[in-house]
Amino acid sequence: MRRVAVTGIGMITPIGTGRETVWRNLIEGVHGIGPVQSFDTSQFRTHIGAEVKEFCADDYVSTLETASLGRASQFAIAAARLALLDAGLDPDDVDSDRAGISMGTTSGEPNQIESFNDAYADGNLASVGAELLSRYPCHLIASYTARELNFRGINTVIPTACAAGNHAIAHASDVLRAEQADLMLAGGSDAFSRITYSGFAALMAIAPEWCQPFDKNRRGMIPGEGAAVLVLEPLDRALRRNAVIYAEVAGYGLSCDAHHPTGGDPEGKGAVRAMESALAAGGIHPDDVSYISAHGTGTKTNDLNETIAVKRVFGEAAYRIPISSIKSMLGHTMGAASAIEAAMCALAIHSDRIPPTIHLNDPDPDCDLDYVANQARDHRVEVAMSNAYAFGGNNASVILKKVER
């Protein structure tokens, strides 16, 4: 069976654009959280978000008209362009019929729905044109990326909320192993929106100032936005072309809590199944895991449930494995979150460095694992696990490992 390598990474995030900038800022503990700029938050209890700043779609979109694209589609195309550039691949030199895209998202293009709602509320539906239909459906994120790059292979969008990026990576890996493609772009994209913000505000889930995963005083998550795309290709092909190989996709595990629309299983059973399945699929013993990228949203229940689940899977080894949550810096980028976190795992493997969990000043005694508080750490990373636990009980764990050359 084909082995699958990660050879390119592109990211659009609240702390910067591109692999080098984002990784440097993660290691330095830079955060992108601040007052919401894209809409008025005066009706909400909280006013903080993690938005992408100074993004210009025209810097990345050359085939399509940027005005015809929603913001999440613009992010996806930009991240895809950056990933291919990072991999040393020119889209014009790729076998287009054997190149595919697998993207995750939570909301698709909610800003387009907001425009419709505004027109409806103003009694001005006549102003809504047919172009709305070409902007808002979530499948357009992948199809527009394919059109921009002329990738004519498998094209899929997986809308499993904040586990979607890991789902997309899992699907793309399966496509490559089944020899249905020779190159896959896999990742996730979501844009900041009033709809998403309103939903989390209604759940009283948004923190008033900082995202503080695993801290005793944590008060919630911070909504964010962004995109990440990973270039995946057969390992033997990557070796033949002497590509930089950040990591190998060793395996994945998927599960559903079948418990609650927004709350996770209090015993973490679904998370446990996802992690155990990923370990089994990758032929990895729990003692061999070097690093875990936590879902780590900063909510009371998530962080506690995740700690319980990790202990159940790893036993005593759980206390020896460094774990961190980059949502403390990026906020929760929704469908992009696990894609960004998987990319970060690949970079941790490649550089043998682990980014911190910032704002972790007073550890919760019930969350008593090593959460790499506030300072990045040099650490040999042979195997990394990226965990994502989404609304709807969708759980996805992806395991990446080092490739020795």
| 8 Å CB contact between 184 and 174 | no
Between CA 371 and CA 211 the distance in angstroms is 14
The closest of 305, 258, 250, 257 to 278, measured between CA atoms, is 250
| 8 Å CB contact between 49 and 197 | yes
pTM recorded for the entire structure: 0.95
Supply the pLDDT for residue 262. Answer: 65
In the chain, the N- to C-terminal Cα span, in Å, equals 19
Residues annotated as catalytic (active site), given as ranges: 162, 295, 332
Which pLDDT tens digit goes with each residue over 280-336? Answer: 999 999 999 999 999 999 999 999 999 999 999 999 999 999 999 999 999 999 999
The closest of 359, 377, 367 to 291, measured between CA atoms, is 377
| 8 Å CB contact between 212 and 219 | yes
Tokens of 405: 């050359």
Does 397 score more than 90 pLDDT? yes
Does 394 score more than 90 pLDDT? yes
Return the higher-pLDDT residue of 45 and 267: 45
CA atoms within 13 A on the CB side of 110: 18
Between CA 394 and CA 391 the distance in angstroms is 6
Kindly report the length of the chain. 405
Strands 183-190 and 226-234: antiparallel
Supply the pLDDT for residue 114. Answer: 63
The percent of residues above 90 in pLDDT, for the chain, comes to 84
Q: Which residues pair with 16 in a beta bridge?
A: 13
Supply the pLDDT for residue 52. Answer: 98
Strands 394-401 and 383-389: antiparallel
Return the higher-pLDDT residue of 87 and 128: 87
Taking the CB of residue 368, how many other CB atoms lie within 10 A of it? 13
Mean pLDDT (the chain, rounded): 93
Q: Domains plus CATH for the chain? A: 4-240 (3.40.47.10), 248-401 (3.40.47.10)
Which pLDDT tens digit goes with each residue over 133-155? Answer: 566 666 889 999 999 999 999 99
28 burial via Cβ count (<10 Å: 0-12, 13-18, 19+): middle
- CA dihedral over 356, 357, 363, 365, signed as positive or negative: negative
The closest of 75, 55, 389, 41 to 213, measured between CA atoms, is 389
Return the higher-pLDDT residue of 264 and 230: 230
| Band of residue 130 on the pLDDT scale cut at 50, 70, 90 | low
| Band of residue 67 on the pLDDT scale cut at 50, 70, 90 | confident
The C-alpha R_g of the chain, in whole angstroms, comes to 20
| Mean predicted confidence (pLDDT) in 44-71 | 94
Does 253 score more than 80 pLDDT? yes
Which pLDDT tens digit goes with each residue over 80-125? Answer: 999 999 999 999 999 999 999 999 999 877 776 666 666 656 677 6
Alpha helices, DSSP H, located in 30-96: 71-87
| Mean predicted confidence (pLDDT) in 26-43 | 96
Supply the pLDDT for residue 120. Answer: 58
Supply the pLDDT for residue 318. Answer: 98
Alpha helices, DSSP H, located in 51-130: 71-87, 110-121
Which pLDDT tens digit goes with each residue over 215-249? Answer: 999 999 999 999 999 999 999 999 999 999 999 99
DSSP-derived secondary structure letter, 224: B
One-letter amino acid for residue 257 of the chain: D
